[in-house]
Amino acid sequence: MTDIKIKIESLYKIFGNKPASVLQHVHDGMSKADLLEKHGHVLGLKDINVDIPARGISVIMGLSGSGKSTLIRHINRLIEPTAGKVIIDDQDVLAMNKKQLGDFRRHKASMVFQKFGLHVHKTVAENVAYGLVIQGIALKEAKKQSQKWLDRVGLAGFEEHYPSQLSGGMQQRVGLARALATDAEILLMDEAFSALDPLIRTDMQDVLLDLQTELHKTIVFITHDLDEALRIGDNIAILRDGAVIQQGEPQNIIINPADDYIFDFVKDINRGRVLQVKTLMSTGTGISGPDIVEKTVLEDALQVIANADTKAANIVDEGGNTVGSITLEQVVKGLARPDVETNPESRYR
């Protein structure tokens, strides 16, 4: 069973003068639009229940205004809730006193912001060491300890530069190194790469994935970009109007969209480069044919089967053990984009 690091339970956030006074209207099913029109309050989050596994990357995504950034800011209580709980290691963050919350922010959870959040008057080295200084470590020692993270994110030689002397991608590397330097178990990343150019953004995704392979942090990553979510996420929760519409493994969301909203998100992705053979395989004993590792995407699997001049292949895990099989017909079916007008049943299969 996967360990749950962060457990969000029945979380509500209503913005306005008297949010508690209108909470019952939300419980009774009042819509976001009606709450604003009739009571002058804005529904930010509605009954959020999300389990975030330890040592993985959980992506929270949605369009602008869906509530994703509001949600992540409840994890370290930058925003106070209207109701609900955020349980981390059996402790409710929302019930912490001022001292407990301060210790939690200094030692247990670090945050990387979209706009970098760097101190413009501090050097790169001083920015990266900042979290350690807040923990009470002398600046000289903090800079020494944080140097390895500057090296890891490719900023060796830029220690005495100032943020204004760096590109956007380099500034975000500083932000990432600063978050990692505190050795916090939880890394909160709010649209961390959204302000970057596409190529730099892909590069930063690679940096994050490489670091995660070694560090195994519990990462909560906010994005509005499905391609980014699918590339880095072990789990995805999709929000709309402050509510979770669907959550789970990326593969399952693609194959089984919960409703029209989710379907519209996933319908245009390149299924061949995203779907893995394990998602469509038949479990059981192997068959005569080539071996394909279970995480192989369909596009590559198709090439393997074609080169072997066969109509099926064995699926093996990373240890080489047979876990099932897949046919050419299954691969081709998986590659096909569902067509709503000609085959509406293909939406939710």
pLDDT digits (tens, 9 = 90+) for 276-313: 999 999 987 767 789 999 999 999 999 999 998 889 99
Give the number of residues written for the chain: 349
From the number of C-beta atoms within 10 Å of its C-beta (0-12, 13-18, 19+), residue 168 rates as middle
pLDDT of 122 > 90? The answer is yes
Q: What would the two tokens of residue 238 be?
A: 């999709």
pLDDT digits (tens, 9 = 90+) for 38-93: 999 999 999 999 999 999 999 999 988 899 999 999 999 999 999 999 999 999 99
pTM: 0.88
- Residue 11: name the closest of 55, 42, 52, 50 by CA: 50
Angstrom distance (rounded) from CA 319 to CA 90: 35
pLDDT digits (tens, 9 = 90+) for 170-213: 998 999 999 999 999 999 999 988 888 888 899 999 999 999 99
Helix (H) or strand (E) holding 142: helix 139-152
**pLDDT at residue 349, as a whole number:** 42
User: What is the rounded average pLDDT for all residues in the chain?
Assistant: 90
Domain parsing of the chain, residue ranges: 272-347
Share of the chain above pLDDT 70, in %: 95
pLDDT of 154 > 50? The answer is yes
pLDDT of 35 > 60? The answer is yes
Rg from Cα positions in the chain:
23
CATH node for 272-347? 3.90.1280.20
Q: What would the two tokens of residue 63 be?
A: 């369009």
pLDDT digits (tens, 9 = 90+) for 327-337: 999 999 998 86
